[in-house]
Amino acid sequence: MSLLNQFIQAKNQGRKWTMLTAYDAPTAELLENAGIDLILVGDSLGMVLLGYPSTREVTMDEMIHHAKAARRGARHSLIVGDLPLKGIEKGPRQALASARRFIKEAHLDAVKLEWGKDAVEIMKLFSKHRIPVMGHVGLTPQTVKGRDGFKVRGREALCAMKIFMAAKTFEANGAFSVVLECIPKAVASIITGRLKIPTIGIGAGPACDGQVLVFQDLAGIFKKFHPRFVKRYADLDRVMRRAVESYKQDVLSGKFPKNEHSFSMKTAEFDLFLKGACV
Ligand code: KIV
């Protein structure tokens, strides 16, 4: 059975799924070797790696460039490509072309689509063309303007109901899974219980069928913001900074490079070279 089918059929089997982001080959390889179930080439790429102020600036070409790298690093994993705003904003036809690029050019298995104004039409087209889609509801970063918008969604009953309906609509239109981002855990628990497809939570509590985090958040590499839902498992930023500072110190003090980092040549060849160089 394909990995995608195993994942789809895994609901209610008491197994939790793990997903992490990767935008490059070494990270994807690390996640695959560590047994992470799904890899997401997220449009968080824009903020985490490309230095944009939000995810809204990321282009489809940039996503494909990184998706190809992730696939080169993880040949066997289930990899999902995140449809960026610039890849869908012109409507369903553009969204279909973008999704096909992830699958045909980067050899990914599925795409992720944030809930938005064209989501239903896009889903209908994807379903017709058998594109596997993971939905994304709750806090949807592509529709957030400015840092103040990064708040919990669904704390009021009406908003919670809209999120629930969006998740149901994704399911009804063929999504194989839905990401629930930054919503109260009680709402996530009800949505997870009412959907037949697995939910993947980020800031949505423990009841979801799986969890996702941005790798650079988990590893302590991206430290511009620290959302409450992120658990840092390492402080790689500090480790890397120390390594770079030590390198600088060693170069300045002459401790690096040493003999073991240098190459030699035969004396006779060097003498010849010296004669030539001194003419
Ligand atoms: O872009 C991303 O990394 C995401 C996850 C946070 C779900 O959408």
Q: Is residue 54 lining ligand 1, measured as CB closer than 6 Å?
A: no
82 lines ligand 1 (CB under 6 A): yes
Topology of domain 3-234 in CATH is TIM Barrel (3.20.20)
Distance CA 36, CA 104 (A): 23
CB distance 63 to ligand 1 below 6 Å: no
Ligand 1 center from residue 238 Cα (angstroms): 24
- Give the whole-angstrom CA distance, residue 198 versus residue 188: 12
Does ligand 1 come within 6 angstroms of the Cβ of 214? yes
Residue nearest to atom 4 of ligand 1 (CA): 42
Distance, CA 259 to ligand 1 centroid (Å)? 46
Bridge-partner residues for 114, per DSSP? 136
What would the two tokens of residue 260 be?
């073991």
- What is the reported pLDDT for 104? 98
Select which of 62, 114, 171, 181 is catalytic: 181
Q: Is 62 among the residues known to form the active site?
A: no
Of 208, 209, 211, residue with least CA distance to 187: 208
Residue found under tokens 């089918």: 5
The whole-number pLDDT of residue 7 equals 81
Task: Give, for all 279 residues of the chain, the pLDDT tens digit.
Answer: 788 888 888 787 888 999 999 999 999 999 999 999 999 999 999 999 999 999 999 999 999 999 999 999 999 999 999 999 999 999 999 999 999 999 999 999 999 999 999 999 999 999 999 999 999 999 999 998 777 778 999 999 999 999 999 999 999 999 999 999 999 999 999 999 999 999 999 999 999 999 999 999 999 999 888 889 999 999 999 999 999 999 999 999 999 999 999 999 999 999 999 999 887
Question: Closest Cα to residue 183, out of 209, 214, 162?
Answer: 162
Contact between 96 and 102 under an 8 Å Cβ cutoff? The reply is no
What local confidence, expressed as pLDDT, does residue 253 receive? 98
Q: Classify burial at 135, counting beta carbons within 10 Å of its beta carbon; exposed 0-12, middle 13-18, buried 19 or more.
A: buried
Report whether residue 43 contacts ligand 1, using a CB cutoff of 6 Å.
Answer: yes
Give ranges for CATH 3.20.20.60 in the chain.
3-234
CA distances to 67, 127, 152, 214, 231 from 102, rounded to whole Å, are 7, 16, 30, 20, 30
pLDDT for 1 equals: 79
The predicted model scores a pTM of 0.95
